[in-house]
Structure formats: structure tokens, C-alpha cells
Structure 1
């Protein structure tokens, strides 16, 4: 699995509408056969910052993603919304999906 986290600092004038501005791209990515998840979150501390958490089945699915037309279009157009170049962390792992957090104490279990 390839797990990717992208931090977007969005220009204030686009911040409120950023999810709508990226909706078509988000939906196209989620429809990719190798996409495991593609989820956005908005920072509670920095309102103009969004975090994208995405994952792909394997390197081939990741390659298909970055070679897709919707990815190329997004990379050519979405920079206008960014206050600075988005920052990324990308890792490959043998894990296939979410795993339970072992360290947390669950009172019912």
C-alpha cells in the first residue's frame, strides 16, 4: 500500500470553498480502482489549512493515479488555490488498510 498525506495551506479567499473547488478531482480519485481512500480534513487550529489523506493499493495503482487525466488537470489548475506549495509525506508499506491502534485502552474491550 502507498499512503500519502498532503498539507495544503489555502489562500484565505479560497478556503471556505476549497472542498467544492476540489470536488470533481476528489470524486475522480475515489473512483480509481486502486484507491483505498481519499479523505480531506480541515485543521481546527489553522482554518486555511487542509490535510489530504489518501492511499492506493500498490505502486501500480499509485502510478495510475499520477498518470490520470484528472490528476494532471488538478496539478495544472489547483496551484491557484495554494498559499504555498503543498507539502507531502508518502510511504510504502506492506500493510493493506487501517490497523487497530494497539496502544489505546478501550474500557469496553
Structure 2
């Protein structure tokens, strides 16, 4: 899978509305056949920062970045941001979450 983590810094006046502002993009991406997960979290240290964790099957990445909803997000979302989002991505085997062995619950 292609595993992607993106840090989105949002202008303070839009931070509380970010999940709603991104809802069409989020819902359309989650509906893509190759999407494994697409999950937003808000930073506990910076209320203007959201972290997006997403994953796609390796053969689905091109369809995602060329989709109409991706292009719409590219056009719409930058107005709410003071800086370009920061990203890390990696291709890894499997398409699932592993258990955290160091904190095993019996």
C-alpha cells in the first residue's frame, strides 16, 4: 500500500470548520475503489493543525490524484491555508494496520 501522512496547517479563522470544509473531498476519496483509509485528526498541541493519514492500494494512486474531486480540492482548499501542507509517504507491504506489540492487550 501507499501510506501517506500530511500535516495541514489551517488559517485560524477556518480551523474549527476544517472538517466540514474538506467533507466533499473526504467522502469522495473514501468512496474510491483503491482507498484503504482516509482519516483526519486534530493536533492536541496546535489547534490550527490537522493530520491526515491515508492509504491506497498501489495501483490506485494515479486515479486518486487525477480524480475530479482531487482537482476540486486543489483549487478550493489552498485559500484556507497559510502554508503548503507537509507530507511523508512510503510504499509498504500489506493493506492493514498491525498490532502494537509493545502495548499488547490480553
TM above 0.5, yes or no, is yes
Q: Which runs of 5+ in 1 are unaligned?
A: none
Normalising by structure 2, we get a TM-score of 0.96
- Counterparts of 1:38 and 1:31 in 2: how far apart (Å)? 10
- Counterparts of 1:4 and 1:14 in 2: how far apart (Å)? 23
Residue matched to 1:82: 81
- Counterparts of 1:36 and 1:10 in 2: how far apart (Å)? 25
Residue matched to 2:38: 38
Displacement of 1:105: 4.1
Normalising by structure 1, we get a TM-score of 0.93
Residue matched to 2:11: 11
Q: 3-state SS of the aligned residue for 2:24?
A: helix
Q: Which runs of 5+ in 2 are unaligned?
A: none
Q: Which runs of 4+ in 1 moved over 4 A?
A: none
Provide the aligned length of Structure 1 versus Structure 2.
106
TM alignment of 1:53-64, pairs within 5 A: 53-58=53-58, 60-64=59-63
